[in-house]
Structure 1
């Protein structure tokens, strides 16, 4: 008896050490959570500045920090669309909004509801079907179908009930769900707010916070529903997120182990028989029904066994109650009798041979690492990543996530602002500054990434206006351009250099370019572009070290965003790049995806090719011909060798124009043809080819 207890305690401690080594420790969990909290904050500030009436919430394992590299967990993003108002009582109706009455009756599955359409002007039901997204039920109610967003593209995301962007190398899959906010907590969920378990968990503070969060309805029906197209699932995801964020490290490790067991033994070959959400729910029930003192490091193995026993009971009974909405059975209609028998047997086999089965888990080399800890195999007999390497790897992907979020936020802001006037832009900057003055720490951190870009864009627009009037840059424009220089290593500096070039101030432009080029040699530099899907830059030991040491601040030192000029900045760019703003003919417009390809109306170029192109032009004006040819050679080498360029076709187009200026028409033609091979539509290379051939014919 005592030996068995000692063995379980020793195994628990060894398991905890292994999970610590692979990044499931308090420090890493908190850092990863903060990273995604920052990204969520940055995107929500951007949506507020852009007046999109949308709030995004990052959910799931990535946001919770309850995953590992080997689990390959996806990213869950909930899009709360505020135009909709879901009510339970007529007093909650709002004038001018899309109001829907939540209906839960004998025809709806527990945890689900129907949505009845109400009038905009007065709190009464609509009596006539407005379009194909609605249906008239037997009671005469106009109900909204949950297929509303099927096939609709919004904000570059195809919303089903949910849309997973699968298979993009180097990134986790993204599961995006559109959701409508409930005006108040649904009655079926509110009973949980007064419930407390054996271990006084969830605490009163947790339940108070949960009560302050939103509930949603999302567009999916129950698998056992008689009306699958009409049901909407009630989501308490923010309350659930609160609970997971308040777990201790042993509870988090138990959850991670459950998911590893799930993936290794219960859901082979990518099947989804039991979902990770079911495992999370089982864990929460177990925590609620045990003393809090049980959940400590030396009891991890016992806690895991308890959770597996509870999961086994759920499978045998075909019933797993939602943690908050108890009437909602998560396993209803989930698997056949044969699959139930198979899963029950697999869980039983694991429980009977738990120690041996743990040693067979390949994910993150957990089984082998555990064998080493238990002195079952000699250390060094098999290679696996050190805890330091894993830590740096996490930091690298945190950097990538933040950098891509910054660039995504920039694109969203430009999409909103490119048609606005100067006054609107200044108002937008004022709103952003309030987040720095009055915001919390996350909002202030988001400000330092968003502000430089917005300052630079505003300064460039002012400069373009003053250049068109008197070919000079106004002092006000220079102030804003200077304020935004530290957006990243290059893009804002290149904009300032381009402004000086366009006003003929070649000496200042050359000085900025020389300094920017030197920065490229101070650190390894990543090219980041969000205009199209691209794999992340290849990771190196040096990059991981820098990310580990500097965290999110390294964005300003090792990132080169692509340089973007909207139409209002046209006088701030060389004429060779202005052509890019007119790449799409009417015939090609139909091949563009509205919510993804809006950048094609702008001039967008990768930083390093633009740097060398500007050098080539400036050295020509300064009659420094040897430097000019060196810049041309660097431009060619960058286009040929840099695998991370997001706008290689644009770089080839400006290189082709350089070749024309060098009186090398054949090489220019080759550049344009190569550009067309990369992008056959929405590419101004066709215009350059026509212009080049026309000039050759005219000269003959």
Structure 2
């Protein structure tokens, strides 16, 4: 049925070129992987800063580099609790931590296990059921997998989420992928069901002995979900080999990666619209693993991608026909169990056949990433628009947003702190990151370097606020700490410094600092970065895309402008017009208090509007009328025309106050009304 005709080679070459054009090439794959590894490292460091003992991993298509802009693949984030000791032998029991013993017997579904509670003082089973999260079965006290849902609620990572297998899924703003958050327990050794794989090697000498040795050292995770329809579904824990699977994915060549991406695009185009929850991308990945392991490596070439795709779809067809897709590492675990109804099965099989038969004409009907249209043009030797710049821009801006999110989560913990308490906590953060950086390797060290300077800026501003309160001057210590964080991005750290100078009345230094920021803020390349509120962002500017394509995370300091955040303990560094933002809550707002309410007491403003606002105030003090008018005009234009502002209502409120100072009351009122239209609650425009 799935024969490879003579046209395979010519079409394969063109199809490979199309996939490269939409960002599925070696460079983009490495960019995606590096960004994901940095993100997971930063998240882990943030947990350590809060004295937590958990490790974050980011799995799935985003971290593998196996996605395209319009596949909009999920981001799978796993948080592993390191203070849990899951063992398979009582000799591995540890004092001072919570110990569970893995139970695998004939009653447990393949690929799953039970967790038996052990005593805290000795390596013997506990016979006491401590709370509702445990259940007794055949004399064993077993942990229910529902305990993780309670942990997720307590963690309150996001305000809204839906359960999806072992994950809590949180829907992001339009245009961004959903995020799946999984909480798991670590198991340092492989359960019996997975050990056979460690000694097995396929026809194509893949996975290699080194890869299997590495996979054996990583252990596995136990995630909180039971087998569908199992008698003990609430007690079962799924064995996850995500780290081993990552190792396998990282070993693939670009043709294998493109083949997997094609499978997902075909799934999205021809299967999911009609049979949404039947075939998953993980099943496609598993099928591809089986194909690679059971074929010689020399078939996986760019000029044979259609042949490789045909093979993978044939194996997938066989799995669906037999209603059995064996897990690659634990083959007894059937991934398709209970997924496909007898009614749907013939239609799904027919759709797969339709793709492969007819000289792959079905590929021309694929609208995702304009793949079909691009392939048609490519076959006619026409020049196409290459999207690698846009993909690079998305990767870089996503990493920048992740940095912003991590920084905010750490600062939130000192939201209600006094100035002295905030200083001590920020010092702890900085010294802890320095210690971690000295003990870790390249990616983790880079992650620390991306976070630490931001806390240096916050510490410097906190110290400056205290010294301004006491002496109306900025201490040398404050300036030293601020200087360490000035170059995190184009503007936010420097704007805090300018704000400090302005609040001490040092107009000369204020003006010099602002002029320096404006000189380096190239509006053709610099992109505003803000994740404080959800808003629909327009595509990044061309200059930002071009530089993102040439550089990695180091570009963040040259072409991004984070929003400027002031916490209550920094209030003396904030002009009075912006201080109002710290008191935006009214009695009427209390009934609509959002779950993530840290920002209610913060003053936050986008960099570019704040630059022009401070210029307006500075030139007003200096009585430089022309410069003052230019600054006000720029503030008005930016507030009205800059597409990607996260705090447009704040910019309008600052503009309104400038209009009041210009005796333009009607214009001021107009600014406040537009601001209220953008954000009805928690808005000082009221």
Common fold: TM-score over 0.5:
yes
Deviations 1:455-494 (A, max 9, x none): 2112111212222222221112112212221111111111
Q: Deviations over 1:484-530 (max 9, x none)?
A: 21111111111001111121211101111122223334643322111
- Spell out, residue by residue over 1:586-637, the C-alpha distance to the aligned partner (whole angstroms, 9 max, x if none): 775564444x332322222221222222223323332334543443343333
Equivalents in 2 of 1:261, 1:658: separation in Å?
A: 55
CA contact (8 A) 1:526 1:537 kept: no
SS at match of 1:268: coil
Counterpart Cα distance in 1 of 2:303 and 2:30: 22
Q: Is the 8 A contact 1:135 1:145 kept in 2?
A: no
| 1:306 is the counterpart of 2:303 | no
Matched, 1:27 2:27: yes
C-alpha deviations, 1:644-698, integer Å up to 9, x for none?
2222333333344444545555655554454444333333444xxxxxxxxxxxx
Specify the alignment match of 1:225 in structure 2: 230
Question: CA separation in 2, counterparts of 1:495 and 1:543?
Answer: 24
Match of 1:81? 81
Q: Which residue in the other structure is 2:295 paired with?
A: 290
Question: Structure 1: which 5+ residue stretches go unaligned?
Answer: 687-700
CA contact (8 A) 1:576 1:654 kept: yes
* Residues 82 and 439 of structure 1: CA distance in aligned 2, closer, same or farther (over 3 Å): closer
| CA distance in structure 1 between the aligned counterparts of 2:373 and 2:627, rounded to whole angstroms | 57
Report Cα offsets for 1:556-611 as digits up to 9, x if no partner: 222211111122222211233233223336775564444x3323222222212222
Work out whether 1:486 is the aligned partner of 2:487. yes
Superimposed CA distance per residue, residues 207-239 of structure 1 (whole angstroms, 9 cap, x where no aligned partner): 121122241122222223123333221111110
Query: Matches of residues 183-582 of structure 1 in structure 2 within 5 Å?
Result: 183-269=188-274, 271-374=276-379, 378-380=380-382, 385-386=384-385, 389-418=386-415, 419=417, 420-434=421-435, 436-521=437-522, 523-582=524-583
| Kept after mapping to 1: 8 A contact 2:426/2:458 | no
For residues 344-377 of structure 1, what are the alpha-carbon distances to aligned partners after superposition, in whole Å with 9 as ceiling and x for unaligned? 3333444443533344434334344444555xxx
Relative to structure 1, the CA distance from residue 373 to residue 628 in structure 2 (aligned partners, 3 Å threshold; closer, same or farther) is closer
**Distance (Å, rounded) in 2 between the aligned partners of 1:658 and 1:10:** 64
Q: Please, what is the CA RMSD of the aligned residues?
A: 2.9
Question: For residues 458 and 275 of structure 2, what CA distance do their matches in structure 1 show?
Answer: 46
Tell whether the 8 Å contact from 1:224 to 1:332 is kept in structure 2 after alignment. Answer: no
Q: Quick one: distance in 1 between partners of 2:541 and 2:647?
A: 23
Q: Is the 8 Å Cα contact of residues 562 and 607 (structure 2) preserved in structure 1?
A: yes
> CA distance change for structure 1 residues 334 and 212 in 2, over 3 Å: closer, same or farther?
same
Aligned partners of 2:186 and 2:4: how far apart in 1?
A: 51
TM-score (norm 1): 0.88
Contact 1:486–1:492, Cα closer than 8 Å, also in 2: yes
- Distance of aligned partners of 1:559 and 1:337 in 2 relative to their CA distance in 1, 3 Å threshold: same
Q: 2:108 matched to 1:111? A: no
Contact 2:71–2:368 under 8 Å retained in 1: yes
Residue 147 of structure 1: how far off its partner (Å):
6.2
How far apart, in 1, do the equivalents of 2:367 and 2:57 lie?
32
For 1:369 and 1:523, locate their aligned partners in 2 and report how far apart those are by CA, in whole Å.
29
1:131/1:191 Cα in 2 relative to 1: closer, same or farther (>3 Å)?
same
**Greater shift after overlay, 275-284 or 139-148?**
139-148
Q: Which residue of 1 aligns with 2:181?
A: 176
Give the TM-score normalised by structure 2: 0.90
CA distance in 2 between counterparts of 1:597 and 1:228 reads 37
- Structure 1 residue 53 displacement after superposition: 2.6
Alignment correspondent of 1:623: 623
Match of 2:334, SS state, is coil
Over 3 Å counting, the alpha-carbon distance change for 1:598 and 1:270 in structure 2 is farther
Task: Measure, in 2, the Cα distance between the counterparts of 1:15 and 1:100.
Answer: 50
Q: Which residue of 2 aligns with 1:642?
A: 642
Say whether the 8 Å CA contact 2:589–2:681 is kept in structure 1: yes
Contact 2:116-2:140 at 8 Å conserved across structures = no
Q: Where does residue 605 of structure 2 map in the other structure?
A: 605
The 3 A distance-change label for structure 1 pair 564 and 70 is: closer
Moved more, 108-117 or 358-367: 358-367
SS at 2:51 equivalent: coil
Residue 584 (1) aligns with residue 563 (2) = no
Compared CA separation, residues 590 and 103, structure 1 to 2 (3 A): farther
CA contact (8 A) 1:196 1:288 kept: yes
Tell me the distance in 2 between the aligned counterparts of 1:231 and 1:214.
Answer: 19
Return the alpha-carbon distance in structure 2 between the equivalents of residues 349 and 520 of structure 1: 53
Q: Distance in 1 between matches of 2:203 and 2:243?
A: 23
Distance in 2 between residues matched to 1:487 and 1:360, nearest whole Å: 45
Contact 2:148/2:183, CA 8 A, preserved across alignment: no
Q: Extract unaligned runs of 5+ from structure 2.
A: none
Summarize deviations over 1:242-297 as a string: whole Å, max 9, x none: 10110112222221222233223333347132111111111111111222233233
Alignment partners' CA distance in 1, 2:628 and 2:221: 60
1:372 to 1:562, Cα distance in 2 relative to 1, 3 A:
closer
Q: Which moved more, 1:397-406 or 1:491-500?
A: 397-406
CA distance change for structure 1 residues 328 and 353 in 2, over 3 Å: closer, same or farther? same
CA deviation vs aligned residue, 1:139-167 (integer Å, no higher than 9, x gap): 46243243641772632374733233336
